[in-house]
Structure 1
Amino acid sequence: MTPLPRSFYDRDTVTVAHELLGAYLVHDVAGETRVGKIVEVEAYLGEEDLAAHSSRGLTPRTRILFGPPGFAYVYLIYGIHCCLNVVTEREGNACAVLLRALEPVRNVHERTCGPGLLCRAMGIDLRCNGHDLLSGNLFVAARMDEEERCIVARPRIGVAYAGDWAAKPLRFYLAENPHVSKR
């Protein structure tokens, strides 16, 4: 498996979100390669998106979002759970896709149906913030099959504070996959 090129991430965020479904998240943890198939994501559309961290502008925490595409933005929720986003679009747009759920493929033995569980099972923590996803030890690899995928679009989870943005169908998942966090 090889990392997707930077050009994959340097596109419209919703397009990237759709194309991440069925791709593989790969992380080498202490010599063990963990692999999970991405089955659920959420798109965050930059500073105008009130659910996005970038809606408050450029801060030390969000500087990765404003950088070039193809980097990991990892943050803590509730002070305990890490969440992994991939930065998308051109530098300065502050867009990203949150990885919400994986189907375990190799050396993943814990639950992966939720962004915090996904990170724990894959060995992803705050040290991965700012990591270049074109590296050989934490990256996304292309889908291996060309079969048609049925993608479901729903509102994102846990963003009720974001007004009209909370209702936008920016959460995407593979229909019928048992590892999706919420239907």
Structure 2
Amino acid sequence: MLHRAAREELEGLPLEVAPRLLGGRLRTVVDGEPVTLRITEAEAYHGQGTGLVPDPGSHARMGRTARNATMWGEPGHLYVYLSHGIHSCVNVVSGPDGVAGGVLLRAGEVVEGRDAAASRSGRTGRDLARGPGRFGQVSGLRHPHHDGIDAVTAAEWAGAHAELWLDDPLSDIASGPRVGVAGAAGTDAFPWRFWIPGDPTVSAFRWGRGAAAASMLD
């Protein structure tokens, strides 16, 4: 049953929380326009000192910085970062307060606000939110304005609201290497990408720089 996410439901490490987000919803209201995205694909990222295995693919792998500060805060806030200087990508912060971690929302299905989503993206069809850049675009959340917005309380933040909703855990979930992550962090050594099998909104897999070669050495 769909319900508003509680802070304590997100206190697990990203590797535990990521599959739990699948089938859930992120609802945003930006510039007065609501858009709801059903989450179909997500990736876990652990910061420095988080979990048993160091994550070389995380923004927080070297410790706390001005850029990744939100990842070190209380769970349920959204870490919104800029990718390639263009795309605002959205992550759900998870793990205990002071332990860095985030779950990248890689893809989703627009279930509310399709006109607003199409207007923001300039696209139509099932691929409106296919991939993290498109997901962030149609959500309306932007770096740096909305970095840190609280998706548990849905309090106003820079003129926007965000709400995270969770559904009953899915029984059928696929996992594998993260998409486009360089080196060992993008190999089978880190099967930290989770998605709903057969869902048409899930993004296609591609190796990151050097990841294919590193995978062959595993």
Settle same-fold status: TM greater than 0.5. yes
Query: Match for 2:146 among 107, 113, 128?
Result: 128
Aligned partner of 2:131 in structure 1 is 114
Give the greater-gyration-radius structure (CA).
Answer: 2
Is residue 44 from structure 1 mapped to residue 50 from structure 2 by the alignment? no
Higher fraction of strand: 1
- Name the SS of the counterpart of 1:54 in structure 2: coil
Per-residue deviation at 1:42?
0.2
Note the aligned Cα RMSD (angstroms): 1.6
Q: Give the letter for the 1:166 counterpart.
A: G
- Name the SS of the counterpart of 1:64 in structure 2: helix
Is residue 27 from structure 1 mapped to residue 35 from structure 2 by the alignment? no
Aligned partner of 2:201 in structure 1 is 179
Calculate the TM-score normalised by the size of structure 1: 0.91
- Name the SS of the counterpart of 2:61 in structure 1: helix
Aligned partner of 1:61 in structure 2 is 67
Whether contact under 8 Å (1:25, 1:36) holds in the other structure is: yes
CA distance in structure 1 between the aligned counterparts of 2:151 and 2:5, rounded to whole angstroms: 8
- Seq. identity, %: 35
- Name the SS of the counterpart of 2:201 in structure 1: coil
Aligned partner of 1:158 in structure 2 is 180
- Name the SS of the counterpart of 1:158 in structure 2: coil
Aligned partner of 1:138 in structure 2 is 162
Aligned partner of 1:169 in structure 2 is 191
Deviation per residue, 1:109-134 (Å, 9 max, x gap): 43100011011111111111011111
Per-residue deviation at 1:86?
0.8
Aligned partner of 1:85 in structure 2 is 91
CA distance in structure 2 between the aligned counterparts of 1:39 and 1:121, rounded to whole angstroms: 15
Deviation per residue, 1:77-131 (Å, 9 max, x gap): 1100011011111122211100000011011343100011011111111111011
Query: Match for 2:79 among 70, 73, 76?
Result: 73
Q: Give every structure 1 segment of 4 or more consecutive aligned residues whose post-TM-superposition deviation is greater than 6 Å.
A: none
Query: How many matched pairs?
Result: 179
CA distance in structure 2 between the aligned counterparts of 1:39 and 1:85, rounded to whole angstroms: 14
**1:7-26 alignment, distance < 5 Å:** 7-26=8-27
Relative contact order (alpha carbons < 8 A, sep ≥ 6): 1 or 2 greater?
1
Whether contact under 8 Å (1:87, 1:95) holds in the other structure is: yes
Q: Give the letter for the 1:182 counterpart.
A: A
Per-residue deviation at 1:147?
8.0
Deviation per residue, 1:12-45 (Å, 9 max, x gap): 3222111100000100122222111000000002
Calculate the TM-score normalised by the size of structure 2: 0.77
